[in-house]
Structure 1
Amino acid sequence: MMGKLLVLGAGTAGTMVANKLRQQLTDDWTITIVDQDDTHHYQPGYLMLPFGTYTPKQIVRRRSRFIGDGIDLRFGTADRIDTERSVVEMRGGETLPYDQLVIATGAGIHPEETPGMMEEEWQRSVFDFYSLEGATALRDKLKTFTGGRLVVHITEMPIKCPVAPLEFAFLADDHFTERGIRDAVDITYVTPLDGAFTKPVASTHLGGMLSDRNINLETDFMVERIDNDAKALVSYDEREIPFDLLVTVPLHMGAEFVGRSGLGDELRFVKVDKHTLQAVGHDNIFALGDASNIPASKAGSVAHFAAEIFTENFLDHIAGRPMAKSFDGHANCFVESGAGKGLLIDFNYDTQPLPGTYPLAGVGPLALLKESRLNHIGKLAFRWIYWHMLLPGRRLPVPALMSMRGKLPAPEIPQTTGETFAQPQKERTP
């Protein structure tokens, strides 16, 4: 069989899948991958940049370095998918036909969606660290910040890497402690969730870590606007949280063309079957990584594990066989906790993060839901793994589906059946 595979997005998920399938598909298949430019960002590095762990040069590479031989890399912006004709209409008038389409265009931040966020205090006292520009500006601000009210804030779920705002709060606590000014900084963590995290066991544990570090926790906070004159977050229920420095995670949304093509939900994430990643109502369209609406963390680990399952399923699919593999929403995340330590969480759609150990060949078991130096080293080592193994599509010695090996039960806190996300604040036009 021969065909045209078109991948929209040369980020983590798109690059991995294109490379994996090029190794598996016959030469009768052409693979084209499209993105807007030749710049690939290691997005987990954004968290570390404000604290000086990484420089911008260490987290930016050329996309073309990681696209394998036999894959056609093109630059441009998709405008709309014509699903009836199986073509992608590009800005500028070009059309790209496909037999099979993978949408991997990720999630972007939209601070303009929150009234007041991008007004006069933007990158003066209001910052993000979910972009290279924002993380770099925040790095410079932290160098001169000598005290006051620091607020770490999530606008709305879902977001890329749900633990990253918590990590920022922990690292800020450590940063100000190292500088000897921690007593002069009041830190408040503000979330639309009813706890510190999306899963009960981890939420309880991480909430306790915030308390231990004297970080205030404000829950169920749905921001309505930012009052720049008063320098305060204002919620829909009229609560106000003043700040001297606001580090916010803006609203996340999918690509505009997804909405125009009728494939997305109200936040423009592609509606898919959460086990096969096939777009609802479309036999030849799939969505991977942050671009999909699966009820799992928008994290690199999820993109990696999903890509492993998708690759096997895709080969069956184009051969006319049923897709036998079922993705379980597996995610694992190293969580930086400051002072050179971190913890590890491992979970999926049906099982929340549990304590215990995580087996890893050649390294030894890693502690789950427990701070350790080895977990911190694992977090730092992942950057090398990302560039040299993950993006090229090499197989890692980590199971794609979650294993219960080494995990301990936590009967005192109820299990959940999926990721819990805050509901959108208002209707949005795709």
Structure 2
Amino acid sequence: MKRQLLVLGAGTAGTMIVNKLRRKLDATEWDITVVDRDDAHPYQPGYLFLPFGTYSADQIHRSRRSLLPTGVDFVVGEVDRVDGATDTVTLTDGQTLRYDYLVIASGTSPRPDQTHGMLGAEWRRSIFDFYTFEGAQALAAALQDFDHGRLVVHITEMPIKCPVAPLEFTFLAEAWLREKGLRDRVELVYVTPLPGAFTKPVASEHLGSMLEERKILVESDFLVERIDVERKVLVSYDEREVPFDLLVTVPLNMGADFVERSGLGDELNYVPVDQHTLQSKAFTNIFAVGDSSDIPTSKAGSVAHFSVEIFVDNFLQLVAGEPMTGSFDGHANCFIESGDGKGLLIDFNYDTEPLTGTYPLPVAGPMALLKETRRNHLGKLAFRWIYWNVLLPGRPLPLPAHMSMIGKKAAATHQKEM
């Protein structure tokens, strides 16, 4: 009987995994099945640009099935639960799928229902999200009618998918308002549960100074308890208040509900794994890759990319009866749009925070780290083509999976307490 690899989720991580492993696993010995709730694969970084008209709606989605290789079974359905004791997955329609190895790549999703007052009469009237296609489209329409008042960009809690995106939206909104001649009529406020603009000290200081230069107010250490819809006010647990006319919020992010029903997740439905191998702490034949795991790094596409590189090699060793030798270091890099056709790039991992310098090569770069350049902006725009044509198909990119200090101007490290 053939061995069964079952992948739950055909997003970035899941699609990359099956494209890489289908080429490496003997089709006479292995069946690969992918399950997802629909056939629409979104280019999620594009949501950021929809409100400002940079991308059109038809540039955002492609068929999930079209991105999978020949010889992979694609099942459209909702996962009800995983039974790790019997190596089976049950779908909500009653269908049962067996596996020898399971990869959970079901991602993370915004949950506005988890904050009192976020959903309701003002949802997508004066309160908007942009982490969903529908939310970004609704926000685009709202911005066209917004010509004065208080625009508040708000993060409910960490971790969130693409943690620099709220900063990017703030910078882009500020530049967009200037371009429209409306900046003097709009007060911009950035509200975050963090003590500063970002999670890492050097980047936080740099990005915080950029907010200050643009006269964007920062309300830090703000843990929202509720939204007072009638008064249009964010209320924190320590009873601070932030009023708004237009609120752009990042709701609490959570993993898939089936993770909770299966007893495989933490309080946010993320799967506890070994942060270096991505292997479940509960079952040795289950892995969680991409945003679905609890690893202490950014829930970003670059993390999915770099971790998949490590996972694939480890998986091939494991199924061959050998010890897994690869160790993921939490490598992430992110372009940060800063408005006016410029952007920054940050590169970091579990232990080393973003530093200045060049990437991926010393001096030559071509990308500058923690510095606003036109080239970084163009790199972000070019990534959409790379995503569809190189990354998802599992083709090699000339970038190391592990973070390198080459090109970085400082060797200081930020050691996390273990």
Give TM-score scaled by structure 2 length: 0.98
Partner of 1:144: 145
Shift of 1:360: 5.5
Equivalent residue number for residue 122 of structure 1: 123
In structure 2, do the counterparts of structure 1 residues 298 and 418 end up closer, same or farther at CA, with 3 Å as the change threshold?
farther
SS at match of 2:49: helix
SS in 2 for 1:359: strand
Instruction: Mark the CA change 1:403 to 1:418 in structure 2 (over 3 Å): closer, same or farther.
Output: farther
1:119 Cα deviation from its structure 2 partner: 1.4
Partners of 1:189 and 1:52 in 2: CA distance: 22
CA contact (8 A) 1:349 1:418 kept: no
For 2:392, give the aligned amino acid: L
Q: More deviation in 351-360 or 4-13?
A: 351-360
Q: 2:352 is paired with a residue of what secondary structure?
A: coil
Counterparts of 1:18 and 1:417, CA distance in 2 = 33
Query: 1:191–1:140: structure 2 CA closer, same or farther, 3 Å change rule?
Result: same
Shift of residue 364, structure 1, vs aligned partner: 4.1
What per-residue deviation string (whole Å, max 9, x for no partner) do you get for residues 124-176 of structure 1? 10000000000000000011100110000000100000000000000000000
Q: What is the 5 A alignment of 1:220-299? A: 220-299=221-300
Alignment of structure 1 residues 369-408 onto 2, 5 Å: 369-408=370-409
* Contact preservation (8 Å) 1:79, 1:90: yes
For residues 79 and 125 of structure 2, the distance between their equivalents in structure 1, rounded to whole angstroms, comes to 34
Query: 2: distance between equivalents of 1:383 and 1:351?
Result: 27
What secondary structure is seen at the aligned counterpart in 1 of 2:153?
Answer: strand
Q: What SS does structure 1 have at the residue aligned with 2:20?
A: helix
Give SS of 1:187's match: strand
Question: Does the 8 Å contact 1:154/1:191 carry over to 2?
Answer: yes
1:192 to 1:180, Cα distance in 2 relative to 1, 3 A:
same
Separation in 1, partners of 2:394, 2:111: 30
SS at match of 1:237: coil
Q: Contact 2:361–2:406 at 8 Å: present in 1 too?
A: no
Question: Pairwise CA RMSD of aligned residues?
Answer: 1.4
2: CA distance, partners of 1:167 / 1:249: 13
Conservation of the 8 A alpha-carbon contact between 1:360 and 1:397: no
- What CA deviation, in whole Å up to 9, does each residue of 1:244-297 have, x standing for no partner? 000000011111110111110000001100000000021100000000010010
**1:35 equivalent in structure 2:** 36
Match of 1:210 in 2: 211
Say whether the 8 Å CA contact 1:49–1:136 is kept in structure 2: yes
The aligned counterpart of 1:11 is 11
Paired-residue identity, %: 65
Please report how far the alpha carbon of residue 410 of structure 1 lies from its aligned counterpart in structure 2 after TM superposition.
Answer: 7.1
Matched, 1:417 2:416: yes
Q: How far 1:415 moved relative to its partner?
A: 2.2
CA distance in structure 1 between the partners assigned to 2:341 and 2:355 by the alignment: 22
**SS at structure 2 position matched to 1:208:** helix
**CA shift in 2, pair 1:174/1:145, >3 Å:** same
- Distance (whole Å) between structure 1 residues aligned to residue 334 and residue 72 of structure 2: 30
Q: Distance in 1 between matches of 2:18 and 2:276?
A: 20
Deviation at 1:418, TM superposition (A): 7.7
Show the counterpart of 2:87: 86
Aligned partners of 2:374 and 2:325: how far apart in 1? 39
Task: After superposition, give the CA deviation of every residue in 1:216-270 in whole Å (9 maximum; x if it has no partner).
Answer: 1111000000001110100000000000000000011111110111110000001
**What do residues 58-97 of structure 1 show as CA deviations (whole Å, max 9, x unaligned)?**
0111111100111111110110111111000111111000
What is residue 21 of structure 2 aligned with on the other side?
A: 21
Q: Which amino acid aligns with 1:370?
A: K
1:114–1:224: 8 Å Cα contact kept in structure 2? yes
Q: Deviations over 1:295-332 (max 9, x none)?
A: 01000000000000000000001111111000000000
Looking at structure 2, the residues matched to 260 and 385 of structure 1 have their Cα atoms a distance apart, in angstroms, of 36
Which segments of 5 or more consecutive residues in structure 1 lack a partner in the other structure?
A: 420-430
Aligned residue pairs: how many? Answer: 416
Asked whether the equivalents of residues 328 and 402 of structure 1 are also in contact (C-alpha less than 8 Å), the reply is: yes
Once the two structures are superposed, what CA deviation does each residue of 1:182-230 show, in whole Å capped at 9, x if it has no partner? 0111000000011100000000000000001000111100000000111
Distance 1:284 1:410 in 2: 38
What is the SS of the residue equivalent to 2:103? strand
Tell me which residue corresponds to 1:100.
101
Could you tell me which runs of 5 or more consecutive residues in structure 2 were left unpaired when the two chains were aligned.
Answer: none
Contact persistence 1:199–1:416 (CA under 8 A): no
